[in-house]
Amino acid sequence: MVKTNNSTMKQTILTGLSFLLIQSASGQEKQSLQKNIPILFNEIKVETKRGYGLWNKNLYGPILLVDPKTREVFANEPDTAGLLKYHGGTFSGVLPPNINIANTAVNFSGKRWAMLMLPLSQNKKDRINLLAHELFHTAQPSLGFVLYNPENNHLDQKNGRIYLRLELEALKKAVQCFTKKEVQQYLTNALTFRKYRHLQYPGSDTTENLLEINEGIAEFTGVIVSARTKKEQTEHFVNGLSTFLNNATFVRSFAYQTVPIYGYLLFGKNKNWNKEITIKTNLTDYFIKAFNITLPSNLKESVERLSNSDDGKMIIQQETAREEKTKKLIAEYKFKFIEQPHFEIQFEKMNVSFDPRNIMPIEDKGTVYPSIRVTDLWGILTVGNGALMSANWNKISLTNPVKIEEKKITGDGWTLELNDRYTAKKDETSGNYKLIKK
C-alpha cells in the first residue's frame, strides 16, 4: 500500500512484513529466473481458483515480482502504458525509481497490483500464502474493507507488550491442542488477556481492530488459500510466533499473528465467518461470541492468576529488562532528531516504504524508522540509519547534512536525491536545515 498524501494516509502505508534480501541473478541464474516466473504465476492462479469460496471471489489479479536490487520487474499481464514488454511467457521491464519496492499492493501504470519482492520462498505453501495475502489487498476495496494502518504505540509499552505476548502464548497452546476442551480453555485465556489489555489502554480496541481487519484478515486469507495440512499449519503458526517475538517492536506487525490463528481455529467451526464481518465489526467481541467464550467476571484477578505461570513470569521479566533499554534508546533518539540541530523535510505528495518490524515510537513526537525510503515531489530519500516521522505524517527529521550538492544531499546514513527547484537551507539561529523550493 503506497503512501500518497496526508488525506489518504490511513489507506496507503506500506506494511508488507516479508522484507527479504536478494542476490541479483545473472547469466544462467537470470535465465532460470525468467523460466520459473510463469510457473509461480500459474501456482497462485490455480490456488486462488480453488479457494474461490473463501470470499466468493477469485482473488487472482495483476502481480508484479520485483528484484529489489536491479528493479527488474516481471508481471503476469500487461500494464496500460506499455512499459512492460512481453517475453517468455511474462511481461517484464524496469520499475521506475519513484515506485517504492515492498511486499504490498500498489497502483502502477493504470492498475492496482500485488507487488512482491524476489526471491520468493522455496516452500510452495509459504509462496502461496504471501501471494494470496497481497492479492487480498488488491481486492480489499471491492470486498468492502477500507485500508487502515493505524499505529498501536501502546504495544511498545511494557504492559501492552506483556499482555499481547500472554495472549499469543495462549493462542500458540490453543492451536497445538487436540481436545476441544483444551482449545476452549486457551482461547478463553487469550481473550481474557486481550480484553484486559484494551481496558488498560483506552482506544486500543479500536486501533488494534482497524489494523487486524486490514492485515490480519489478509494474512488469514493467505493461510486458507495456502491449504496446508493441519500439521503444516500448526508448525507455520508456531514458527511464525517465534520469529515474531524477535521483532524490535509489535506496533504494526502483531495483526499478522492474532487474527490468522483465531480465524483458522474458527474456520474449523464456521467456514463463512470471514464473510460475516465488515469494517465496523469489533473482532474481539465477535470472537468471544463465535467461540462461545465466557470471560471471567473479575478480569484483573484472572489476569494476575494466569500471569503467575512460568511463561508469564518469564515474559514479565523479559519485558521489564527491555523497558530499561528502551528508555535509554528513546532518550538518544530525542536528542538526535529533536534536541540537537537537525534537518526537517516537509511532505508534499509522498510515498513511503519501510520495515514495520523495527520501528520505535517516541512518545507523542512521532516514530523512528531505522530504514525507510520516501519519494515525493522533491525527490527520493533513502535512510539506513534512522529518521523520525512526525506523529501526523507531515514531515520527517534527519541528522543535519554533511555534504550538499546541486542534485544530492547526504548525511549520516541517509541520501536525498533532489529534483529541480529544491535545495537545503540552514537556519543560522537554530542550526536546523530545511528543504525549500528555489
* Percentage above 70 pLDDT, the chain: 92
Are 129 and 44 in a shared domain?
yes
Same domain, 108 and 221: no
For position 1, what pLDDT does the model report? 38
Give the neighbor-by-neighbor strand order of the sheet with 414-418.
Answer: 351-354, 372-376, 379-383, 414-418, 408-411, 403-404
Asked if residue 83 belongs to a domain, the reply is yes
Report the relative pairing of strands 372-376 and 414-418 from DSSP bridges.
unpaired
Q: Mind listing the pLDDT tens digit for each residue in 177-194?
A: 989 999 999 999 999 999
Same domain, 69 and 183: no
Q: Is residue 336 part of a domain?
A: yes
Q: Average pLDDT, whole number, for the chain?
A: 91
Q: Are 163 and 125 members of one domain?
A: no
Please report the pLDDT score of residue 18 as a whole number. 36
Strands 395-399 vs 387-389: parallel, antiparallel or unpaired: antiparallel
3-state secondary structure of 93: strand
Residue 316 located in a structural domain: no
Of 255, 275, 308, the last residue of a domain is: 308
Shared-domain flag, residues 40 and 78: yes
Q: What are residue 389's phi and psi, to 5 degrees?
A: -90, 130
Within 8 A by CB and 6+ apart from 324, the residues are none
> Grid coordinates standing for 221?
486469507
Grid coordinates representing 83 are 512499459
Residues 260 and 363 in one domain: no
How many independent structural domains does the chain possess? 3
Same domain, 286 and 366: no
Q: What average pLDDT does range 166-170 have in this prediction? A: 98
Q: What are residue 334's phi and psi, to 5 degrees?
A: -65, -40
CA distance 328 to 204: 25
* Same domain as 15, residue 112: yes
Domain end position, chosen among 143, 178, 210: 143
- pLDDT tens digit sequence for 27-64: 445 555 667 999 999 999 999 999 999 999 999 999 99
Q: How confident is the model at residue 9 (pLDDT cuts 50, 70, 90)?
A: very low
pLDDT at residue 24, rounded to an integer: 37
Q: Do 138 and 171 reside in the same domain of the chain?
A: no
One domain, residues 282 and 361: no
pLDDT digit string, tens, across residues 121-146: 999 999 999 999 999 999 999 999 98
Start-to-end Cα distance in the chain = 32
Neighbours of 381 (CB within 10 A): 23
**Look-up of cell digits 527547484:** 421
Do 163 and 131 belong to one domain? Answer: no
- Rounded to whole angstroms, how far apart are CA atoms 195 and 342? 41
Mean pLDDT of 163-178: 97
pTM above 0.85, yes or no: yes
Same domain, 62 and 41: yes
Rounded distance between C-alpha atoms, residue 390 and residue 341, angstroms:
16
Is 317 contained in some domain?
A: no
Using the 3D structure, point to which of 143, 165, 188 is the last residue of a domain. 143
How many Å apart are CA 213 and CA 199, to the nearest integer? Answer: 20
Domain region containing 20: 6-143
Best CA proximity match to 147, nearest among 179, 178, 112, 175: 112
In a domain, 322, yes or no: no
Torsion angle (degrees, nearest 10) of CA 403, 409, 412, 415: -150
